[in-house]
């Protein structure tokens, strides 16, 4: 009976021992290097504890005194989100068709993809500061920013959906002699419509969230109000704004989820 082995070890995650040890050592070296070189002023951090106490002390209780300002900021955020969603979705549709491998010719396809990659790669806040410099402070810069942001997401998802459509339906339309636009309306749109509606609602929710942020760099909406409150050390008003932002985001997420469930 004792001819059975009495040791066992789990098969390693990376089979090649050289690669395995190289990965482990590489990770360890990276962590040590980052911790050693990262410029953190620990003295300043210690002061931070006391400062945090002061900030939170100043923030409680949240102040809703200037609720007029709060409501105006929010209405502006909602307007920005609505306009950006409408514009972004409208522009996303042609870009998505450009970026779908199965319907666009190769050069157009690359152009469409490039649009989407650029729109996706830049955080809305970066896009916002550029637009603020180009078209001035205010909600218009916010709308333009979120249009770009919407294209990055909606056009990408829509292009993927278009690439998945059943070409049989398109062929059937062509076989019956339907012209290009009719084919589009009868064979392609019905297939992408449910996804399109879901994406639009999702993006409206996303844009509302993002509109709270782009304001911090001057692109209008509640974010501008929040940044001002922070800048003036009005921490109680800042907390009030934050609470309302969280509440609105939760409600918006709930509503958007409910509608998408109903539609999709």
Partner 1 sequence: MSSIAEQFGREDWTRHTPKQKARRFGTFAACAAAIAWALTSIEVIWAWVWDSPEQMGDLFGRMYPPDPTNLGAILRVLLETVNIATIATAIAVIMSLPVAYIAAQNTTPNRATLWIGRLILVTSRSVNTIIWALLFVAIFGPGVLAGIVAIMFRSIGFIGKLLGEAIEEIDKRPVEALEATGASRFKVIAYAIVPQVMPTFWAVSILRWDINLRESTVLGLVGAGGIGIILQGAIDTFNWPEAATVLIAILVLVILGEIVSAFLRRRIL
Partner 2 sequence: MLKITDLVKRYGGGDPVLKNLDLTIEGESVVSIIGSSGAGKSTLLRCINRLVEPTSGSIVLNGTELTALRGAKLREARRKIGMVFQGFNLVDRLTVMENVQSGRLGYISTWSAIMRRYPKEDIRRAYELMERVGIAHYANTRADQLSGGERQRVGVVRALMQQPDILLADEPTASLDPKTSEQIMGLLRDLAGELKLPVIINIHNVTEAKEYTDRIVGMRYGRIIFDDTPAQLDQDAMDRIYSGSPHADRAEQTVAAQ
Buried b (16+ CB within 10 A) or exposed e, 50-71: eeeeeeeeebeebbeebeeebe
- Whole-angstrom Cα distance, residue 230 to residue 238? 6
209: nearest Cα among 139, 146, 140:
146
* Smallest separation (angstroms) from partner 1 to the CB of 175: 21
Q: Interface with partner 2 includes 2 (CB under 8 A)?
A: yes
Q: List the single partner that 9 binds among partner 2, partner 1, none, CB under 5 to 8 Å by kind.
A: partner 2
Minimum CB distance to partner 1 smaller for 108 or for 227: 227
Q: List the single partner that 7 binds among partner 1, partner 2, none, CB under 5 to 8 Å by kind.
A: partner 2
Buried b (16+ CB within 10 A) or exposed e, 159-168: bebbeebeee
Q: In the stretch 6-45, what mask flags binding to partner 2 with x, by CB under 8 A?
A: xxxxxx----------------------------------
204: nearest Cα among 111, 78, 114:
78
Minimum CB distance to partner 2 smaller for 8 or for 42: 8
Q: List the single partner that 41 binds among partner 2, partner 1, none, CB under 5 to 8 Å by kind.
A: partner 1
Q: Which residues contact 260 (CB under 8 A, 6 or more apart)?
A: 198, 201, 202
Interacting residues with partner 1 (CB under 8 A) = 34, 38-41, 44-45, 47-48, 51-52, 55, 75-76, 78-80, 82-83, 86, 117-118, 120-123, 125-126, 129-130, 133-136, 138-140, 143-144, 209-210, 212-213, 216-217, 226-227, 230, 242, 245-246, 249-250
Q: List the single partner that 100 binds among partner 1, partner 2, none, CB under 5 to 8 Å by kind.
A: none
Q: Which residues contact 160 (CB under 8 A, 6 or more apart)?
A: none
């Amino acid at each position: 009976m004792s001819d059975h082995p009495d040791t066992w070890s789990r098969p390693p995650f990376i089979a090649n021992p050289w690669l395995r040890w190289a990965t482990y050592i590489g990770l360890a070296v990276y962590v040590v290097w980052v911790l050693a070189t990262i410029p953190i002023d620990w003295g300043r951090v210690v002061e931070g504890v006391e400062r945090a106490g002061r900030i939170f002390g100043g923030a409680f209780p949240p102040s809703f005194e200037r609720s007029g300002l709060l409501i105006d900021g929010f209405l502006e955020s909602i307007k920005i989100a609505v306009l950006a969603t409408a514009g972004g979705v409208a522009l996303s549709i042609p870009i998505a068709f450009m970026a779908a491998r199965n319907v666009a010719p190769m050069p157009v396809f690359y152009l469409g993809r490039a649009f989407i990659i650029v729109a996706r790669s830049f955080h809305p806040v970066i896009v916002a500061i550029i637009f603020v410099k180009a078209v001035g402070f205010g909600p218009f810069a916010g709308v333009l920013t979120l249009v770009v942001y919407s294209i990055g997401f909606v056009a990408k998802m829509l292009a993927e959906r278009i690439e998945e459509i059943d070409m049989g339906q398109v062929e059937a339309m062509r076989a019956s002699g339907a012209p290009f636009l009719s084919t589009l309306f009868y064979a392609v749109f019905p297939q992408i419509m449910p996804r399109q509606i879901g994406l639009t609602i999702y993006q409206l929710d996303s844009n509302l969230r993002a509109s709270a942020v782009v304001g911090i760099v001057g692109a209008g909406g509640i974010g501008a109000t929040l940044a001002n409150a922070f800048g003036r050390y009005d921490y109680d008003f800042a907390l009030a704004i934050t609470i309302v932002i969280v509440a609105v985001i939760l409600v918006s997420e709930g509503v958007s989820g409910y509608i998408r469930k109903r539609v999709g």
